[in-house]
């Protein structure tokens, strides 16, 4: 098992397959952004599989495919099938905005993707267009319907409450999740890049109180995936709510994950700059032993915590550049 300097076991890797996205969510990417990696700098599927295999040998049991929007990468189901066959892998999941999901849901499920996280910030078409820069709600809903039909083990709806924009839509989203058997997760906006710093996120504690009164929520002990969310559930088991609170109640002490960007850079913390480039090693023909040694060296760079509260202007890169 990989363990960092602070005794945290690293067993979760998030793999970005593209930094491109077909949306421009106000808290993620600014309109007109063009600073994307050139495709020649992207890791190939063979290179991604090789990195994932190395992590698997070192004890990582969970992989998540992310972006940008990962379904913009051609042949993603093929890659998913290769990764799901890795020895020791317990969980392969995908983060998506669902605009392309209707076309790919069945193939992804056949390839071994078991869980989905879908970013959806409102059920109002005008609100979604305002937040994403695109009239994308019909495509997202069609994608969710296809995913439900495909039989994924668990589908989570990730919603970022933005003050004065969609924070009044949370109850409607909760009812939607109850109707379809989805899990609702509320995520605090993070100050990543200029767009993230301009977003005035809503406080989640009052929202939790509001939803607890309406649905009779009680804290749940079980973990629903390898991430940092804390969960509450209704007594009848029909509604599950997760909160991800990197700002108000950070979870750095239990952080179990790394991110790899599309160009093969390992990011050791979402809110810090420490990184380790793997692409030069891969393209220089490194051995498996050299690759594993590089991963262990990267783990030693993992910081104790982020500085989102202390230095919100510190981080210049956008979320899509890091990998979700």
Contact by Cβ (8 Å): 212, 203: no
Note the pLDDT of residue 77. Answer: 98
Note the pLDDT of residue 324. Answer: 65
Q: What is the pLDDT of residues 73-110, one digit of tens each?
A: 999 999 999 999 999 999 999 999 999 999 999 999 99
Q: What is the pLDDT of residues 120-179, one digit of tens each?
A: 999 999 999 999 999 999 999 999 999 999 999 899 999 999 989 999 999 999 999 999
- Range 244-266 burial, b when 16+ CB lie within 10 A, else e: bbbbeebebeebbbbbbbbbbbb
Contact by Cβ (8 Å): 43, 263: yes
Q: Over range 299-320, report the average pLDDT.
A: 68
CA–CA gap between residue 244 and residue 278 (Å, rounded)? 29
Q: What is the DSSP letter of 284?
A: T
* Predicted structure pTM score: 0.92
Q: What is the pLDDT of residues 179-196, one digit of tens each?
A: 999 999 999 887 655 555
Average pLDDT value for the chain? 90
Q: What is the pLDDT of residues 146-159, one digit of tens each?
A: 999 999 989 999 99
Note the pLDDT of residue 319. Answer: 63
Strand pairing category for 154-159 and 183-187: parallel
Q: Which residue has the higher pLDDT, 273 or 206?
A: 206
Q: Does domain 2-322 have CATH number 3.20.20.70?
A: yes
CA–CA gap between residue 113 and residue 154 (Å, rounded)? 10
Note the pLDDT of residue 287. Answer: 98
Say if residue 246's pLDDT is above 80.
no
Confidence of residue 20 (pLDDT cuts 50, 70, 90): very high
Q: Which of 64, 25, 32, 20 is nearest to 262 (CA)?
A: 20
Q: Over range 16-28, report the average pLDDT.
A: 91
């Amino acid at each position: 098992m990989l363990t960092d300097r602070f005794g945290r076991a690293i067993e979760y890797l998030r793999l970005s397959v593209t930094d491109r996205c077909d949306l421009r969510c106000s808290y993620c990417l600014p309109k007109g952004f063009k600073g994307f990696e050139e495709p020649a700098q992207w890791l190939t599927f063979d290179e991604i599989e090789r990195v994932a295999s190395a992590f698997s040998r070192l004890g990582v049991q969970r992989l998540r495919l992310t972006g940008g929007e990962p379904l913009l990468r051609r042949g993603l189901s093929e890659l998913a099938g290769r990764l799901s066959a890795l020895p020791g892998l317990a969980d392969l999941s995908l983060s998506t905005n669902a605009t392309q999901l209707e076309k790919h849901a069945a193939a992804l499920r056949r390839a071994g993707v078991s869980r989905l996280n879908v970013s959806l910030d409102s059920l109002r078409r005008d609100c979604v267009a305002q937040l994403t820069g695109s009239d994308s709600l019909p495509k997202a809903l069609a994608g969710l319907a296809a995913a439900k039909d495909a039989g994924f083990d668990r589908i989570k709806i990730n919603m970022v409450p933005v003050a004065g924009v969609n924070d009044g839509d949370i109850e409607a989203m909760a009812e939607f999740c109850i109707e379809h058997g989805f899990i609702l997760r509320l995520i605090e906006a993070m100050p990543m890049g200029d767009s993230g710093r301009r977003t005035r996120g809503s406080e989640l504690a009052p929202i939790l109180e509001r939803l607890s009164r309406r649905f009779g929520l009680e804290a749940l002990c079980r973990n629903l995936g390898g991430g940092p969310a804390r969960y509450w559930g209704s007594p009848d088991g029909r509604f599950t709510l997760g909160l991800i609170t990197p700002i108000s109640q950070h979870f750095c002490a239990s952080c179990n994950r790394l991110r790899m960007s599309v160009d093969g850079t390992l990011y050791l913390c979402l809110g810090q700059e420490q990184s380790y480039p793997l692409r030069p090693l891969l393209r220089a023909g490194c051995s498996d032993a050299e690759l594993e040694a590089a991963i262990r060296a990267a783990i030693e760079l993992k910081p104790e915590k982020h500085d989102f509260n202390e230095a919100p202007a510190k981080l210049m890169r956008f979320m899509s550049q890091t990998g979700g």
